[in-house]
Amino acid sequence: DAMVIQNPRYQVTQFGKPVTLSCSQTLNHNVMYWYQQKSSQAPKLLFHYYDKDFNNEADTPDNFQSRRPNTSFCFLDIRSPGLGDAAMYLCATSRDRLLAGVETQYFGPGTRLLVL
Amino acid sequence: AQSVTQLGSHVSVSEGALVLLRCNYSSSVPPYLFWYVQYPNQGLQLLLKYTTGATLVKGINGFEAEFKKSETSFHLTKPSAHMSDAAEYFCAVSDGRGGADGLTFGKGTHLIIQP
């Protein structure tokens, strides 16, 4: 089945130790998104890639970076995780930009990050 | 900026009863509206969406929602609740202003089904 895969499902890191979360998709979608969802809160968009075009949300901290080496993979790098970065990180894809015909976003299961 | 308000962080209904989850939005342009469901430790799954056309939208699992422009609402309903409906439900809006291609989500409503 075509899907959005996130690894690992649970990640424990130490305060200040860089961590990378990964997302892959078999849908061959052009757009990939990263959302941060803190406990009992709504998912918040961090950034997205339209093909190789990177689009950062204005209020996304510099501590968060992303890479998309090819269509299938997208990585979220947290350079120096703080306690406040503990959250569920959701990857999503869509065939095209939401602006163009309101494409559906398909979400992965998420990676829950714990910062010690 | 666009925003979404979901009334009630928790809603409890009896199995077989009507489910009503409320969502109001603000947007200065015609919005695109979505409802997503999230089961524990899982990602979000699209229930239904409104783009244009018919204001009553039917989704999966027997859910439907009605877009009411005059009330800026997009409430989610299901005639008869099932135990498997217990989950977190998110309303979301997209209007694409400022080039943003992501969704703006409400804070979510946790649906509890009483046996």
CB contact under 8 A, A43 and B9: no
The CA-CA-CA angle for residues B83, A108, B56, to 5°, reads 55
What's the CA gap between B94 and A31, in Å, rounded? 15
> Which residues of chain A are within 8 Å of residue B46 when distances are taken between CB atoms?
104-106
Query: Strand, coil or helix: what is B95?
Result: coil
Kindly report each contact of residues B51-57 with a partner whose C-beta sits within 8 Å and lies 24 or more positions away, as own/partner.
Answer: B51/A101, B51/A102
> Which residues of chain A are within 8 Å of residue B96 when distances are taken between CB atoms?
98-99
Question: Could you tell me if B23 and B5 are in contact, meaning their C-beta atoms sit under 8 angstroms apart?
Answer: yes
CB contact under 8 A, A107 and B96: no
Tens digit of each residue's pLDDT, chain A (116 residues): 669 999 899 999 999 999 999 999 999 999 999 999 998 888 898 999 999 999 888 889 999 999 999 999 999 999 999 999 999 999 999 888 766 556 788 899 999 999 99
**Positions in chain B short of pLDDT 70:** 1, 28, 95-101
Strands A53-56 and A44-50: antiparallel
Secondary structure of B46-58 in HEC code, one letter for each residue: EEEEECCCCCEEE
Taking residue A74's Cβ as centre, other Cβ atoms within 10 Å add up to: 27
Whole-number pLDDT of residue B98: 45
Whole-number pLDDT of residue B31: 80
Best CA proximity match to B107, nearest among A96, A44, A42, A40: A42
Taking residue B72's Cβ as centre, other Cβ atoms within 10 Å add up to: 14
Closest-CA residue of A relative to B101 is: A98
> Which residues of chain B are within 8 Å of residue A3 when distances are taken between CB atoms?
none
Whole-number pLDDT of residue B82: 96
- In chain A the first and final C-alpha atoms are separated, in Å, by 36
Whole-number pLDDT of residue A102: 63
CB contact under 8 A, A42 and B96: no
Whole-number pLDDT of residue A91: 95
